[in-house]
A and B are shown apart, each in its own frame.
Chain A
Amino acid sequence: GAVVSQHPSRVICKSGTSVKIECRSLDFQATTMFWYRQFPKQSLMLMATSNEGSKATYEQGVEKDKFLINHASLTLSTLTVTSAHPEDSSFYICSASGAGGVSYNEQFFGPGTRLTVL
């Protein structure tokens, strides 16, 4: 149980284009979904938190107009990187809570999406 998927696993795009990444909770309803970014040899940095049907809450320093998050249902959240630039190249990981677990609000992680902007 508590499986989270992401699509695509890898994407390469040209500078200036937009890229959409999907995050799905496959066997539970996710009350909250989280988006992280991880640069090489660094840890996970939380970008934003989203609840179904409401606007995402962005962490300080994350541009909400550049990283659009939509949480339209209890099983799907999308992250769109608009007008991507090479510095946006990173590993993007989503997580979801709402399935219980060892702790209330434990997060279950997706497999990640490797974005490369040329």
Chain B
Amino acid sequence: GQNIDQPTEMTATEGAIVQINCTYQTSGFNGLFWYQQHAGEAPTFLSYNVLDGLEEKGRFSSFLSRSKGYSYLLLKELQMKDSASYLCAVMTGTYKYIFGTGTRLKVLA
């Protein structure tokens, strides 16, 4: 079956660094996406990984290990506005997205 796991909730302090993990088992793999979603809004694209390694984009970085079925999203210099849900999504062999359970991040002052 298809399975994507993320921690349900995380809490971190403003200015800190937080790592959100995602493990997956899917039928085929055409890349992994990370999205940010605020309550009541659509997901916003953050990053995409299809090859192993680290992709860095400003305060956000994403890592992928295909052999381990594992990815993480790293958020640096946390700001209050980073409080949101973070969704890991795998594009499968048929180009559908399977979304993970989502991680609700709370940033405290």
- Out of A32, A36, A43, name the residue touching B100 (CB < 8 Å): A43
Chain A residue numbers with a CB within 8 Å of B79 are: none
Q: Which residue of A lies closest to B44 (CB)?
A: A109
A-B contact count (CB 8 A): 52
Interface residue total, chain A, C-beta cutoff 8 A: 25
Q: How far is the CB of B44 from chain A (nearest CB, A)?
A: 8
Is the Cβ of A103 less than 8 Å from the Cβ of B40? no
Is the Cβ of B41 less than 8 Å from the Cβ of A111? yes
Chain B residue numbers with a CB within 8 Å of A110 are: 42
Is the Cβ of B95 less than 8 Å from the Cβ of A97? yes
Is the Cβ of A46 less than 8 Å from the Cβ of B87? no
Digit string of B14-40 for contact with A (CB within 8 Å is 1, else 0)?
Answer: 000000000000000011010000001
Which residues on B are within 8 Å of A, measured CB to CB?
30-31, 33, 40-43, 45, 48, 50, 87, 89, 91, 95-102, 104
Which residues on A are within 8 Å of B, measured CB to CB?
32, 34, 36, 41-46, 49, 91, 93, 95, 97, 102-107, 109-112, 114
